Structure 1
Amino acid sequence: MTALIPRPAMEIAPGAVHLPGWLTLERQRELVTACRAWATGPVPIRHTRLPRGGVMSVQTVCIGWHWQPYKYTRNADDVNGERVAAFPDWMVQLGRRALLDAYGDAQGAADYTPDTALINFYDGQAKLGMHQDKDERSSAPVVSLSIGDTCVFRVGNTETRTKPYTDIELASGDLFVFGGPSRYVYHGVPKVYEGTADPDTGLASGRLNITMRVTGLTD
């Protein structure tokens, strides 16, 4: 088993930071195990149906709050009506460490309290169009973790889905944080490279993407 060696952080745009190899293989395996458990319910993983009838090619399961286009609820009324699994404290701590390593702001990291995560699974054919994460009432940063197959991650601008944008590769173990001036950048995944996953992560194929957010909502 080859250990991942973290590489220097790269700022793609102001507030958008890529930290390659941030997750150890052990932590990746732990996250894969947790995601498999969440995928079975109480609200199972599914292809989200959009209001106009389209169906997303990625499969999604949520914890903390349930995301349905384009709002958050505690119960998954568009799936089975069940309350989603709780957001665990160890995920809060992981999010805080991610923010600290990305920005070097100890106070900002200590104040960061994500309360939901969208977990997307991509098979080799899945894609995600350019979009903004703007259904939250908080402008706190989004913490994104990648496990499994490498993908092309397209980082755009805050005004339009079109150019200018920057394409980077996100590999297994990579961390990407977007906040500040880049909190509402358009972003997407136009391609996944099948067969690039390391089985030592516990994921033999496909890509898991875990995005932690602060909804700004209360019960």
Structure 2
Amino acid sequence: MTAVLSSDLARWQKQLEQRWAAPLRQARDRRVHSQVMADFLQQVETDLRLGLKPQEAAAIACSAGCGTCCQVHVAVLEPEALHIAAYLRQTRSATELAELRRRMNRLCIAIEGLDEEERAACGCHCVFLDTEGHCTIYPVRPLLCRAVTSTCPRSCRDALRLSALGEQVPVLMNLFQKELMESAFRGLAHLWQQQGGDGRSFELTAAVRRALYAA
């Protein structure tokens, strides 16, 4: 496998779709869905590491326990939500799932109808953060969460605070990682829709809650 260049992302997305068309068709069967999605994400992460220059990777300041960006709307696709729901059922007890569902219900009510600025202003953190700010679904986190990076944690905090006041402050991030993950997102949406699924995106909490209740 060769490194992906930013100029090649359109071709990379096409190759990704060709590679995963058949496996994702099989993944409509929930018994194999989680493994196929895990393998899909692993390929995307591998291609990211191959294409990310060492100096660029070193400049990324994101680390466990930050959680600043985990107060904004995150869009997920149906296959991502199903994968996260399966992971939660495997890693949490019935009691923990019941408590998580209560928290998800409360958050869905709190953020319903809010736009990006209003969501930032309400200070509602993602339900999948623990008390120390660690992501509890990190291995299966959404592609668009993986797309976001920062070279300066303080700039993230400032941008979030000012966005709640209607001011837009740029955050320096790795554009290659952002564009690659967004390409993977578009490719997955296209594949899922081609196979009769819903190719639209949904808010993370509501989508995972629906996937958990549907189990």
Query: TM-score range, shorter-chain basis?
Result: under 0.3
| TM-score normalized with structure 2 length | 0.28
Q: Is the strand fraction higher in 1 or 2?
A: 1
| TM-score normalized with structure 1 length | 0.28
Higher RCO, Cα 8 Å, sep 6+: 2
Instruction: Pick the structure with greater CA Rg.
Output: 2
